[in-house]
Amino acid sequence: MMDYVILSLTLLAIGIYGLLTKRHLLKVFVSVELIATAATLNFVMLVPSLGKGLGEAFLILAFSTDTCVSGVILALLVVVHKKYGTSDIGDLVKMEEGKEKSEVEA
Amino acid sequence: MILEILSVGLIISACLAIFLDEAVYSVAALAGTLFLASLLYAFSDALFAAIFQFAVGAGTLAVLFLAGEMLSETSTKTSQKNLLLIIAVGVLLSLPAIFLSVSGTPSVLSGISFGEALWDSRAVDVVLQGLVIMTVALGIVIVLHEKRNGEK
């Protein structure tokens, strides 16, 4: 039961660290991918205890969810980069704050 | 032994994917992570999971390489010293996983072929998930199309 748990926890920790500390949107996406990989590793590890059919169903669900999340994040990434010309979260926040200030002043 | 080596490689490539400064190298490290995860599943007799992981990873990374090339703005480079430090951190982080866990053999497929598992046991799941992915892809295309029309 404990097989691979610590490995997937380590991957999860690296992913969460990246999600919290990195400012580039692509790095955030990479972090989300690592978290999804950790979750999938857990599903693979849990398959024998869940039963074959249920385990496989969870596994397919995890993979398809991962793919959907990747697609949505990539689309958002492209839209944000096209609209603002940057992929840095800090710059995006500053731009939005500046926009709000100018609207209040007007 | 092979599982331990794959685990160390998995953690090191995950660390490189997070800590490398260049977007394209970071994506390449992520490719390594997904490939090693796929190999880990294959060597653990989870062939079904390995093939799916490889297919999903290949699709995601093909798009990510393009996005990484497009979105990389700065040309900062990770120094040799930092690279070695990241690898050392990866090895350190993988030690608990090696000594405390990796040893078992989870078995997704036991006694049935991949084709049987995919089309006899889980055909409805596969078709439904394909439908979900297609709907999401269509949604993304519509959103991007609307966005482009709005810009014009």
pLDDT digits (tens, 9 = 90+) for A50-96: 666 666 677 777 777 887 888 788 878 888 888 888 777 888 788 87
Chain B residues close to A31, C-beta within 8 Å: 18
Residue to mutate among A5, A31, A58, A64, with most B CBs inside 10 A, is: A64
Q: What residues of chain A, 32 to 71, have a C-beta less than 8 Å from chain B? A: 33-34, 37, 40-41, 43-48, 52-53, 55-57, 59-61, 63-64, 66-68, 70-71
Tens-place pLDDT, residues B63-103: 777 777 666 666 666 677 777 777 777 777 777 766 665 55
Burial class (CB in 10 A: 0-12, 13-18, 19+), A35: buried
> How many Å lie between the alpha carbon of B77 and the closest alpha carbon of chain A?
15
pTM over 0.80: no
CB B64 within 8 A of CB B30: yes
Tens-place pLDDT, residues B20-65: 888 788 888 888 888 888 888 888 777 777 888 887 877 777 777 7
Q: What is the ipTM of this complex?
A: 0.82
In total, how many domains does chain B have? 1
The whole domain housing B119 covers: 2-151
